[in-house]
Amino acid sequence: MSIGFIGLGNLGTAIAQRLTDMGEELKIYNRTKSKVEHLAYKIVDSPKKLIEECDIVFMCLFESSAVENILTMENGLLDADLEGKTIIDLTTNHFEEVLTFHNRIEDKGGDYLESPVFGSVAPALQGLITITTSGKKETFDFCKPILEKIGKEIFYIKEPGQASKMKLINNLCLGSFMATLAECTALGEACNIDKAKLLEILGVGGGQSLVLKAKTQKLIDEDFSAHFSNNAIYKDLHTLQDLAYSLNQPLYTAAIPKELFAKMKKNGKGEEDFSSIYQLFKD
């Protein structure tokens, strides 16, 4: 089975590396070729050519507008004959726009799995991400062995759009936890509690979480190189509010974290890791 990959950002590169470590040979397309020329993959010139040469193509892009571009650009995926081809979309998509991706790919004879991932660079390199997938059951069953090479927990929710909604709900926890942990860290430092000791205690106390485990060292070192960016969490929380609006459902705990991450973006720190929100509370 030949595999293609589109979108070699921080997360995409980590997932591609995991596939390589698991014995898969990849061909790739990236919109900015100069960013991937150093990687040991065959680079093709267009999404159309990539899917013509591969049975399965992964996409791991920033948002739905980027997916739309890959589908509809000149020599995009929809320019190819998609009969017998499968597209696994790891992007965190808009819950409404993703429905059009299902329909347009299936109309061209292809299969589409909406498969947003939970987790960032470090767990992706170890095959420890969580994947929630929506699409045809037979397509999911066919792709499950390859998904198991990159994910530890895999959940199937058949109805299109549900996987994307679940990812947004998960990221409400993610953004809210990170904001609270950052504020706790800054408050502890203001009390002259050693930061490393503070985070150790939180890690066995009320702060115990996957978020704290993943971000403890970043907070200690103040190393905010991006694994999951402020831009990304801000985008996801904004889309989450779109979802709540469509349901006439109030969201209380999402509002303030979203605006805190908006402030980071406005401050020119959108490309930093979302743990850098700590700086807002420290200053």
pLDDT tens readout for residues 240-260: 999 999 999 999 999 999 999
Residue where a domain stops, chosen among 136, 158, 180: 158
Residues 12 and 121 in one domain: yes
Q: How many domains does the chain have?
A: 2
Residue 15 has pLDDT above 90, yes or no: yes
Residues 62 and 195 in one domain: no
Residues 115 and 227 in one domain: no
Tell me, yes or no, if the pTM score tops 0.85: yes
Q: Using 50, 70 and 90 to split pLDDT, how confident is the model at 16?
A: very high
Residue where a domain stops, chosen among 122, 137, 158: 158
Residue where a domain stops, chosen among 141, 158, 175: 158
Residue 283 has pLDDT above 80, yes or no: no
Residues 72 and 172 in one domain: no
**Domain of residue 61, CATH code:** 3.40.50.720
Residues 199 and 216 in one domain: yes
Q: Which residues contact 255 (CB under 8 A, 6 or more apart)?
A: 241
In whole angstroms, give the CA distance from residue 154 to residue 248.
30
In whole angstroms, give the CA distance from residue 84 to residue 225.
40
In whole angstroms, give the CA distance from residue 183 to residue 160.
37
In whole angstroms, give the CA distance from residue 209 to residue 261.
20
The pair of three-digit structure tokens given for residue 62, joined into one six-digit string: 């920033």
Residues 236 and 203 in one domain: yes
Q: List for the chain the helix, strand, coil content (%; round to 5).
A: 50, 15, 35
Chain segment 79-136, per-residue pLDDT in tens: 999 999 999 999 999 999 999 999 999 999 999 999 999 998 999 999 999 999 999 9
Residues 151 and 265 in one domain: no
Report the greatest alpha carbon distance in the chain.
Answer: 64
**Domain hosting residue 69, numbered range:** 3-158
